[in-house]
Amino acid sequence: MSLLGIAAAVAVLWPAELKLEAMPARESAQFTSSVNLVEVYASVVEDGSGEPVRGLPQEDFEILEDGQPQTITAFSAGDFPLTAALALDASFSMAGPPLTRVKSAARAFLNALSPSDEAVTVGIGSEASVLASASTNKAAHLDAVDGLSAWGTTPLHDAIIASIAAVDASRGRRALVILSDGDDRYSDAAAADAVERARRSNVIVYPVALGTLRPPLFAELATLTGGRSFHAPGLSGLDGMLTMIVAQLREQYLLGYSPGRQPVAGSNEWRSITVRVKKPGVSIRARDGYYVR
C-alpha cells in the first residue's frame, strides 16, 4: 500500500512534542515527555571503531535544555524494545549490481535483529510502499526484500516523510534506516519538509548514502534525531554498516529529567537538548530537542 496517504493522516500526531497531560513515561520510550519528565535515548560509541560503549554510570552524563543544566532523575541502559523500518531505494538508478548489494545488506540487517524486534520493510520507487508491515515475522521481511525489483524514479523527500510515518506510530523505540543513492526525483516535498517531519517525529534516522553522492540532508536527519549517517561510495562494506547500526541500537542509554523551566501548553515552543558524556574518546548521539504542544 502507498505510504503517502499514511503520512498525511498522522502528520498532526507528533509524539516527540511535549504534551501537557498525564501519560506513562515509558509508553513510547524513545523520546517521550510529560508534565514532569522528558526522556531521551542516547547512543555512546568509541571514536574510530564506532563500537557501542557499555556500562557508563548516570554520573557520566550531563543534559542541558536551552543551554541550562538539568538534573537527571531517570536512568537505565541496555537493550530496549525496537521497531525498525528499512527503506530501500529500488528505483531504476539502482538497477543491477547496486540493488543486489542493497538486498544483501537488508538481509544482514534483518538477520541481526533480535527475535522480539519488529521490522517494517519499505520499497522506494515512484512512491514509497510497505512491502512487509510491522511484525517480528523475519521470514516475511526477508521474502519482501528478495522480491524487490527496480522500478520508477526516486521521490526521496516524499519517501522519507512517508517512511517516518510508517514507523512513528509504533510503540517503544523507533528507527528508520534509509538506503539510497540520494538523488531526489520529482518529490512534492522539499528537503526542509523532510527535516521538519523528522524533527517532530519519535524516530531515530540512519541514512546510508550509496554511490558518489552524499546529500547534506542525510547528515542533517541523523544529527537532529540522534542517529548516524553512513556513506558507501563503492557499495563495499554495506553489510557491515547495517549490522553496526543494529549493534548501536542494541546498546543505548535512557535519560530522563524534569525541565527546570516548566513548559506552557499550546506554545509550540522549540526547546533544544544537549547530551554530554564525560568519558574521553567517545561520541554521543541523541535528539537535539523537542516541541512543546
pLDDT of residue 26: 40
Tell me the residue range of the domain where 256 lies: 17-79+251-292
Can you give 239-265 as a three-state secondary structure string?
A: HHHHHHHHHHHHCEEEEEECCCCCCCC
Closest alpha carbon to 104 in 88, 119, 115, 93: 88
Residues 64 and 95 in one domain: no
Q: Are residues 212 and 99 in the same domain?
A: yes
Q: What distances in angstroms separate CA 167 from CA 18, 45, 78, 161, 208, one per listed residue?
A: 19, 25, 22, 11, 18
Residues 132 and 264 in one domain: no
The whole-number pLDDT of residue 13 equals 27
* Whether residue 150 sits in one domain with residue 111: yes
CA distance 255 to 246: 20
114 and 206 in a single domain? The answer is yes
Contact 84, 119 (CB under 8 A): yes
86: closest CA among 173, 174, 197, 13? 174
Q: Cell numbers of 268, please?
A: 509550540
Split into its structural domains, the chain has a count of 2
CA atoms of 135 and 170, how far apart (whole Å):
11
Listing DSSP states for 167-191 in one string gives HHTSSSEEEEEEEE-----S-SS-H
Residues 99 and 240 occupy one common structural domain:
yes
What pLDDT score was predicted for residue 212? 85
Ramachandran region, residue 281 (left: φ > 0; alpha: ψ -120 to 50; beta: rest): left
What pLDDT is stored for residue 276 in this prediction?
97
Map residue 8 onto helix, strand or coil. Answer: helix
- What element of type H or E holds 26? none
Cβ-based neighbours of 64, under 8 Å, separated by 6 or more: 70, 273, 274, 276
Asked if residue 257 and residue 233 are part of one domain, the reply reads no
- Give the model's pLDDT for residue 49: 87
Residue spans of beta strands (DSSP E) within 93-192: 118-124, 128-135, 173-180
Same domain, 107 and 75: no
Considering the domain architecture, whether residues 118 and 180 belong to the same structural domain is answered as yes
Name the one residue in this structure whose C-alpha cell is 506552557: 264
| Same domain flag for 185 and 266 | no
pLDDT at 34: 46
- Rounded to whole angstroms, how far apart are CA atoms 173 and 41? 9
Return left, alpha or beta for 96; rule: phi > 0 is left, psi -120 to 50 is alpha, else beta. left
pTM for the structure as a whole: 0.86
State the residue for C-alpha cell 526547546: 271
3-state secondary structure of 133: strand
Is the domain of 133 the same as that of 259?
Answer: no
53 and 88 fall within a common domain = no
SS3 214: coil
d(CA 89, CA 75): 37
Assign residue 23 the CATH number of its domain. Answer: 2.60.40
Q: What is the pLDDT along the chain (293 residues), one digit of tens a residue?
A: 433 333 322 222 233 444 433 333 343 344 454 446 898 999 999 998 888 999 999 999 999 999 999 999 999 998 788 999 999 999 998 999 999 999 999 999 999 999 999 999 999 999 899 999 999 999 999 999 999 999 999 999 999 999 999 999 888 889 999 999 878 889 999 999 999 999 999 899 999 999 888 889 999 999 999 999 999 988 888 999 999 999 999 899 999 999 999 888 888 899 999 999 999 999 999 999 998 87
**Dihedral sign of CA atoms 271, 276, 281, 286 in order:** negative
Q: What is the CATH number of the domain that holds 202?
A: 3.40.50.410
